[in-house]
Structure 1
């Protein structure tokens, strides 16, 4: 990354800046941790924290705002689950939300059958977010963790439509489930059963090269190669590669060769100036925008794209004879 591009990346909100400092600039730990501590008091993080309701929720609802009638374009992104997930992704210290886990246990119920918040519900993606958020805030979400082991489909992944009878996994649902399982495992140590479920879900996506149907070999959908930030619930090659980077680093292994096609897609989307363009937005109500409009160079996407390619290229540059996998899942 050129000095000019890095300077541009660093001219941003603390929610992104600390990650750029840590993962791209190689800043000392005390530097990026100092920036990270500002997430609670400045910019995006402070703005989202200020919207929290006295009862611990955001917008008066668990997954949807209390006033949501289902008649607006897209999906609102303002309620509790999305707000928590965003703050966690931005690196907010859980101490800034002291007491929130208890408030949500007392006051928040899922729109689906009025189920208690930290017990989860039937949607894989929602449960994935809640599993990670609960582990982050110190709630007991062991029941949700076991839910994933119990509801994995025969082909290895998950599908939010399982409750409607679907028996084939979804790229979107599987990725969001994996993200929750990995965060929970890192935070708590997990279990052999949950690790096996996570690895099986990863294999589902790897067999399909993160891009293609297993039987047809055709692109699974245009969304797989369209990059948008925030990622929300949507699968993309970039979103998935960022997950596989984190999982490989946690497991002590290098990049799986089957990621190569998705890496090529990400690399091809990089512009000559080293940036990635915002390619759209998930429609729906937001508290405030956190990235540029479609068609402009996105610092967030440039961060994720650069980080993924640095990881991949760094492993590929390992000396001849080196086991770039770095370990075994044996």
Structure 2
């Protein structure tokens, strides 16, 4: 067994998207090889409707998949193919943009006016860039949850984990997308396929990931049975942890427990030509998509 080293720990940065939605971006619009096959990850979490209610009006996508996971509030969506619906708390939507789609996403707060969700962009390989668009909407009750003896709970959104398989399938990156809750003070190890790129995103509580790059793989500066955790080694809310290669990660939860997303996928290793929500392999393909947007031929007829 080999523990994945922590290549980087960084805080998600505040930014604004859509028609004025305030959110925090963990990564995106930088080096696309860094977390290939994933391109972007946003945490949209607000307490005030004014910070998100204008939403994400009509915009195009091509060459990627977008994964929306809602924790609080709702997201109403509609698209150029005539699809429409609403995602509620705990629901997931996996949209394969493929050859092109125009859609809008409008968030709404819960009874307390709060909104919280995540959006992840996954790249498509060249052979699937121009595939027909499709949606997979998954309600919260269809997502399996497994609880271990120590109280650790995992929601399996995609992939297989602890004998459960997530309901989202047929995804190009063949990802594993887990929502993990670890109780206070518990240390837990999670297996990850060696050939996948992987990251964790902490969004509740705090914890420390065992780092194989430290001498003897030391997790905390002082680690004695019963001793209080060294908070200085802990990463907290809105923190991205990017891992190197290996087949497992180990985390020690802090005194208030820890909740994080653990996401991994098989790298595509292809050239990336990227402009906003359109991701192709060459500049020529990118320019063709822009021309089609301008002349009204971006949306392809269904076969």
Whichever structure has more helix as a proportion of its residues is: 1
- Structure with the larger RCO, 1 or 2 (CA within 8 Å, 6+ apart): 2
Q: TM-score, normalised by structure 2?
A: 0.28
Higher strand share: 2
